[in-house]
Structures are given as structure tokens and as C-alpha cells.
Amino acid sequence: MVAADLEAFGLSGYEARVLVALLKLGTASASQLGRESGVHRTSTYPVLDALCVKGLAEPLPGKLALWVSAGRDAVLNRLYSLQEDRLRGLQTRLEQTRRLMADLVPESTPATLAHLQLVRGAQAIEKAYERMLASVQRELIVFNRPPYGLESTTISQRVLETLARGVDTRVLYRAVELEAPGADGFRQETAAYIRLGVSAGLVDDLPLKLAVADRRVALVTLVSVEDEGGFPTSLLVENPGFAEAMAAAFEHYWTTARSVAGLLGVKPAGT
């Protein structure tokens, strides 16, 4: 409908309908416009006042209350001009707001955050972790805890490739996951990784989900899935200082960890 198109130029639904009716009739009373547009007559008067203010209609002098428009092309040009005025006003407001915010809000993308990336969704986090595994050369350390991303019932091919390159891989698990009734599948998967060369430790709790590659890249999940309603956003930080700090946290927990191999009755690789 033409009226719907006119709404895109900033008119209300009633204004657009009455304007179309006025353009069709040429000259009309409020009653005639109400019948033609489907807008109640009592609502037509304030709508006509609004159209007059915008320069889209004008009352005719005389005893009879009649209104007229300047015609199709003139109306369209006026609507376009009104939008140009609105944009100029927004541009002025934008510059004013920019100056005000400059003193209140720091730059949104400072150079110090160039190597920090927000990773959203289980699949994106899984891909980021796989890229870490593909690039790690010497050491991989992991806090393994929920929330888990993509479910897997088989040994990860990417982990096999990582171990085959001789990467020193250490993983800390929470006791609540490995010792829980019904966790047989998880225990079997963990045992398989230990046989393949993963060093595994068991602790009572872990503060976050973490993977650090070569003490230069860290993938961190800060909150639990219950807090956010879905797999939470994680941080991928390519900064050696941050990665070293995360590695120091890992070492703190590692010194007090119990043997997962002993719990599961598994002989680690090379023994």
C-alpha cells in the first residue's frame, strides 16, 4: 500500500492514510477524508493539523472547513526534505554526543586489546580450541570442567595429532565429574587419553575452564552455563604475559592434584 510506503518517511499510520486520501480527493472536508481513509472523523482533525505543520496539507480559507494538498510531486519532495532536515539534526546531535562521551567513555578498541577475541557459542569455541591444538608445539595445559561444548563419544583426532608431535599435555579434572555415578563413559574416555600420553590430575574444584598453549595463548571460559543460559562467551587471549599467569594458576592446582591414573587403574603411556 502507498500509505505503508509513506510511513517510511516518518509519517504515522493515520497521517499516511489521510494524506493519501487528500491526494486522491484533491480538496476535501474532514468527514470526506475520514470516509476515504478509514480514520474516524474525530481523529482526522488532529491528523490534519499535524500534516499542516509538516507542510503536507493546508486549510482553504472560507466558511467551509476544507483542506488541500500541494499535489503528489510536491508532497514527495517535502517528505524527502523533512528527512534531510532530520538527518542534519541527527548529525549535529551525533557530534554533540561524541564530545560529551569523549570525557566519559574510553576508546572502544584500544591497541592493548588487539590480541583479545570474544568467542561465542559452543561450535566457535570448539573451533578455537582445535586451532590451538593444531598450533601448539611444546606444552598444553587444561582445566577440564563444565560447561562442555560439543559432545564427543570418540577420541579426538586433533588430540591424537597433538600427542603424536610429542606435546607435553597435562589436564586437571574435577572429582565431581570423574567420580559421579553414571560417568562410566567419561571415565573410559579419560583413561584412553591417559594411555595415549596425557598426564591427568584430580582436584576438588576448578575456578574456570581453561586451555593454555605454549604459554602464549589462553582460551578462558569465566562463567558457568547456568549463569548465562547457553554456552557462555569465552576469551581467546594471544598474550604471553596473560598466558603465563594462567599457567601459574594451573601449576598451583597441579601441585596438590591426585592421580587420575591411580583412580581409574590405568597405566600411563611409557610405563
- The DSSP annotation for the chain comes to -HHHHHHTTT--HHHHHHHHHHHHHSEEEHHHHHHHH---HHHHHHHHHHHHHTTS-EEPSSSS-EEE---HHHHHHHHHHHHHHHHHHHHHHHHHHHHHHHTTS--SS-GGGTTEEEE-SHHHHHHHHHHHHHH--SEEEEEE-SSP-S--SS--HHHHHHHHTT-EEEEEEEHHHHSSTT-HHHHHHHHHHHHHT-EEEEES--SSEEEEETTTEEEEE-S-HHHHTSSPPEEEE--HHHHHHHHHHHHHHHTTPEEHHHHHT-PPTT-
Domains and CATH numbers, the chain: 2-101 (1.10.10.10), 113-264 (3.30.870.10)
pLDDT digits (tens), the chain, 271 positions: 687 888 888 888 899 899 899 999 989 999 999 999 999 888 899 989 999 999 989 998 877 789 898 888 888 898 888 888 888 888 888 888 877 777 776 554 444 456 888 888 888 888 889 999 999 999 999 999 887 765 555 678 888 899 999 999 999 999 998 888 888 888 899 999 999 999 999 999 998 899 999 999 999 987 654 444 567 888 999 999 999 999 999 999 999 999 998 888 888 776 6
